[in-house]
Amino acid sequence: MKRSLIAAVDLAIIGLILFFIIHYANTKMHESNENQVEAFEKMTVSAEQTITNYLEDEQHLCDIWANYINRSAQAGTPLTGEEAISFIRKAKISPMIYGHLIFLDDSSKKGISTHPSASDPNDYSVSYGNINLFENREKISREVGVVSLTRAYTNPQNGIQSIAFMNYVNVLDEASGAIKEALLMRVEPVSVLEDKFVFLKGEYESVEISLINREGDYLVHGKSLKNSNFFEYYRSYNRLKVADYNEMTKRVTSESGTMTMQNSKGEECVISYTPLRSVDDWFLLAYIPKKDLAANTVVDWLLLGTVILGLSLLIIFNYLVLRSYNIRLTAAAKAANQANEAKSHFLSTMSHDIRTPMNAILGLNEMVLRESREEETLNYSRSIQTAGNTLLSLINDILDFSRIEAGRMEIINVDYSFVSMVNDLVNMVSGRAQDKGLKFDLDVDRNIPMILNGDEIRVKQVITNILTNAVKYTKEGSITFKAGFEKEESKNDSIRLFISVTDTGIGIKAEDMKRMFQAFERIDEIENRSIEGTGLGMSIAQSFLNLMGSHIEVESEYGKGSTFSFALVQGVKDWKPIGDFEEAFKKSLSDRNKYRERFTAPDARILVVDDTPVNLSVFESLLKYTKVRIDKALSGDEGISFYRREHYDVIFLDHMMPDKDGIETLLEMKEISDSPNNGTPVICLTANAISGMREMYIREGFDDYITKPVDPDRLELMLLHYLPKDKIASAKESEVKEEKDIPDFISRIDGLDIDVGLKHCRSSETYLDTLKVYLDSAKGNADEIEKYWDDRDIKNTTIKIHALKSSSRVIGALGLGDLAEKLENAGETGDVKTLEDETGELLSQYRKLAKALEPLNDIRDDGGAKEKPLISKRDLKEAYEALSSFCAAYEYDSVVNIMESLKGYSFPEDEYMRFEALKKAVLNFDYEEIPTILTGGEK
């Protein structure tokens, strides 16, 4: 995990903790605020109770006055207005409280007061004429105990804002002597009521208590609620829809509750409201700024700060501890990496070291298989091949496993022929099955498309593993390979390939199924100890399929057999059905032991650079029948000198070489600007087959690589890919066997098509004899033609040329034959000019061909080299050393003796010419030439 990611996770955790704390604190604060609001509302309700009590008490006092006056009237001794006021004057205790007796029948609403006017101490009259106070006179109750209260108004006598409790009284009208109704008012300054509010505030310092009527007009209001009307004030500073506003006014004037609003300063404040129970249409409002109500409006920053600090310290501590662990872990990881690198290096080295000799073993063995006619030898050779291949596959398994483990296994999709793949698989397995006496059945859907797209190599490897296992673990019975398919519905250009392999082998126990695909697990180890294997095969196969989006399914009955199957999506490049595979296979089966090259390319030229002569020899041998011309170099520097001089179509360059390795050589080659090989593909020859090598070589500038031991098939396929197409010709069926008897030099003769020659002569034996005859007659014929022509004997010249045409064509000298035909025609038509121009050329070519065929004489002289034993290298070396020393000592007799004894041997091809040159030198007594020939200065 990256450090930044750890830091991010740490921060996220801190964030979460802080979020939780803040959220929790907020919730608590919210709850606390809600409680505060609730308590505030309760305070409002209890304030209302207090006010109601007060108002009822005051009304009660007013009622006492009224009762006294009214009872007097009822008793028949009604009081006059003056008497009534006089009574009240005596009854009331506080000087602040006025008693007004108002005669409402008078439009000026005049009456008598307990107090004189402020401006005139003798004036006790009072008038409400200019004060709009008795609009709802009918609402004033005559009942005792019912609060009848005025709004706050200005006491006309003293100009003090007051409220008045009212009741009706009956008094005697002195003028008429009748009893008339008057309104008795107990007038009290609003400030008295306001003073009560001070005690109501309780714990709320900034609370302001107001009383409003239904219209919102204030009876009393604090300094924060402006305007003369609460609702107007509310509307001035709070934007509300009409419906919401009406709802608000309705709530405030009908029930108890709490709401928030903005005051004139834009601050949020809380208003608790409740109706006054004692007085209709009066409502109590308790106002408080929200900030004063909610004491805990902020999170406890000290707590939060401490938590942040604590967490930060924890993180720093953890970071330091982790860092020290990391340093130790890094060291351990480094050591582990070094060990792993050592392992990789070991694998690489092992691979290289094993593969290099394997190249020689398998390559030379291949040559033995190709060339040997001795059945016994061929049997040994086949055993070598089998063991070698087993060893190689074990190494390959280990290398594949290491690739998979390192995650470097890549799936590389290519177009491939399904038939060709199955053919290879069956070829490989059917032989082994046959050897074990097993029946090998094929059931291949004939409609499977011809060309598929997928990782051919891996698919093949998976099936090979399954098939090989089936053969390994089946003692008797049969193995059935089945291939089917269905079209992928989701993809037009794909099929789902079904492959299954059923055997009648030992089967797998249910409890072993799980271990089936585990690396290095071998089931029934004791039972199967004789069977070779690393225990990697199925694990690798399963891994490959997993990489390709599939998996192996196993059905098995212990002791009876198993079926391994898988389904794999493959692209389709050619929907043409493969047809009847079995038939095709059976036919091919009969040819399975025969080698045949895929192509010939006599005009192609390749360069191989390898420090091991045997490898060069093997390489050359493997390509012998393709007729590709090969130049060999034993070191990088030698390779470079070839590279400078000659043009090649492909260059094979060994990686591991002394002095200058393959990569250094390649780099040096690439720096040469004037080489004829700019653009020539360079393929790395390597015994390094561990994972990642391909990428490494491509990165270093190689075009491709091929592993040693060189797989002949793969080598030919690679050349098919890299050689220019115009230099590639298809191989002829018949050549294979016959060609083996035709000396190498003949196939290298320009202008001689061996294929045509062989075709005409039916066998190589006849061909060689024909060539011999051709050669023997060549000199005389040439001389004769020249003579006839010099004499301008056109007729005979033409006859001779005609014979030349035919014989040339028989041996495959087609170019010479064609030229002869042209001159023959010229002779017949008397075209002297053509004869003049081209007879020289004809003779020149004829003689050149004869010259090239001259080694045939040696073969004849040899008396059949094939019967003589091949001289060993050591013997040859000793012989050459002896010849050299005898020549130096002028003991020419000894030289002759040695040469005579050497004639009893056959020579390797590369020494043959040297031996012929030596023979010639001895024959001509040219002993001084011998050391030069021996040192390779002259042939």
Task: List residues binding another protein (CB under 8 A).
Answer: 117-119, 130-133, 153-161, 189, 191, 223, 226-229, 232, 236, 264-265
On whether the CB atoms of residues 311 and 14 are closer than 8 A, the answer is yes
3-state secondary structure 499-529: EEEEECCCCCCHHHHHHHHCCCCCCCCCCCC
Q: Which is nearer to another protein, 133 or 746 (CB)?
A: 133
Minimal distance in Å, beta carbon 137 to another protein? Answer: 17
Q: Three-class SS of residue 818?
A: helix
Q: Which is nearer to another protein, 149 or 746 (CB)?
A: 149
Minimal distance in Å, beta carbon 275 to another protein? Answer: 24
State how far Cα 420 lies from the chain centre. Answer: 32
Q: Which is nearer to another protein, 159 or 305 (CB)?
A: 159
Q: Which is nearer to another protein, 236 or 337 (CB)?
A: 236
Q: Which is nearer to another protein, 201 or 487 (CB)?
A: 201
Q: Which DSSP state fits 731?
A: P
Minimal distance in Å, beta carbon 209 to another protein? Answer: 14
On whether the CB atoms of residues 539 and 547 are closer than 8 A, the answer is no
Q: Which is nearer to another protein, 226 or 919 (CB)?
A: 226
On whether the CB atoms of residues 778 and 846 are closer than 8 A, the answer is yes
Minimal distance in Å, beta carbon 115 to another protein? Answer: 11
Minimal distance in Å, beta carbon 132 to another protein? Answer: 7
Q: Which is nearer to another protein, 226 or 598 (CB)?
A: 226
Q: Which is nearer to another protein, 133 or 608 (CB)?
A: 133
3-state secondary structure 168-219: EEEEECCCCCCEEEEEEEEEEEHHHHHHHHHHHCCCCCCCEEEEEECCCEEE
| Cβ partners under 8 Å of residue 438, min gap 6 | 471, 474, 476, 477, 478, 479
Minimal distance in Å, beta carbon 293 to another protein? Answer: 19
CA–CA dist 767, 388 (Å, integer): 38
Q: Which is nearer to another protein, 153 or 517 (CB)?
A: 153
Q: Three-class SS of residue 322?
A: helix
Minimal distance in Å, beta carbon 208 to another protein? Answer: 10
Minimal distance in Å, beta carbon 8 to another protein? Answer: 48
Which one, of 449, 518, 520, lies nearest residue 487 by Cα? 449
What ranges make up the beta strands (E) of 353-396? Answer: none
Tokens (6 digits) for 742: 């035709």
Minimal distance in Å, beta carbon 233 to another protein? Answer: 9
Minimal distance in Å, beta carbon 277 to another protein? Answer: 27
Q: Which is nearer to another protein, 156 or 537 (CB)?
A: 156
On whether the CB atoms of residues 688 and 351 are closer than 8 A, the answer is yes
3-state secondary structure 136-168: CHHHCCCCCCCCCECCCEECCCCCCEEEEEEEE
Minimal distance in Å, beta carbon 189 to another protein? Answer: 7
CA–CA dist 736, 758 (Å, integer): 11
Peptide bond into 931 cis (omega under 30): no
CA–CA dist 501, 483 (Å, integer): 9
Which one, of 473, 446, 475, 485, lies nearest residue 528 by Cα? 473
Minimal distance in Å, beta carbon 223 to another protein? Answer: 5
Tell me how far apart the 2 most distant CA atoms of the chain are, in Å.
Answer: 196
CA–CA dist 646, 605 (Å, integer): 9
Minimal distance in Å, beta carbon 121 to another protein? Answer: 11
CA–CA dist 676, 680 (Å, integer): 9
Q: Which is nearer to another protein, 109 or 352 (CB)?
A: 109
Q: Which is nearer to another protein, 119 or 530 (CB)?
A: 119
Q: Which is nearer to another protein, 192 or 852 (CB)?
A: 192
Q: Which is nearer to another protein, 233 or 418 (CB)?
A: 233
Amino acid at 95: P
Q: Which is nearer to another protein, 224 or 932 (CB)?
A: 224
Minimal distance in Å, beta carbon 177 to another protein? Answer: 33
Which one, of 330, 900, 505, lies nearest residue 892 by Cα? 900
| Cβ partners under 8 Å of residue 633, min gap 6 | 607, 608, 609, 610, 639, 641, 642
In DSSP terms, which residues pair with 125 in a beta bridge? 112
Per DSSP, helices labelled H in 791-872 are: 794-811, 814-829, 832-853, 855-862
Q: Which is nearer to another protein, 133 or 252 (CB)?
A: 133
On whether the CB atoms of residues 570 and 495 are closer than 8 A, the answer is yes
Minimal distance in Å, beta carbon 139 to another protein? Answer: 19
Minimal distance in Å, beta carbon 239 to another protein? Answer: 13
Burial class (CB in 10 A: 0-12, 13-18, 19+), 593: exposed
Q: Which is nearer to another protein, 132 or 590 (CB)?
A: 132
Q: Three-class SS of residue 416?
A: strand
On whether the CB atoms of residues 525 and 464 are closer than 8 A, the answer is no
CA–CA dist 682, 654 (Å, integer): 10
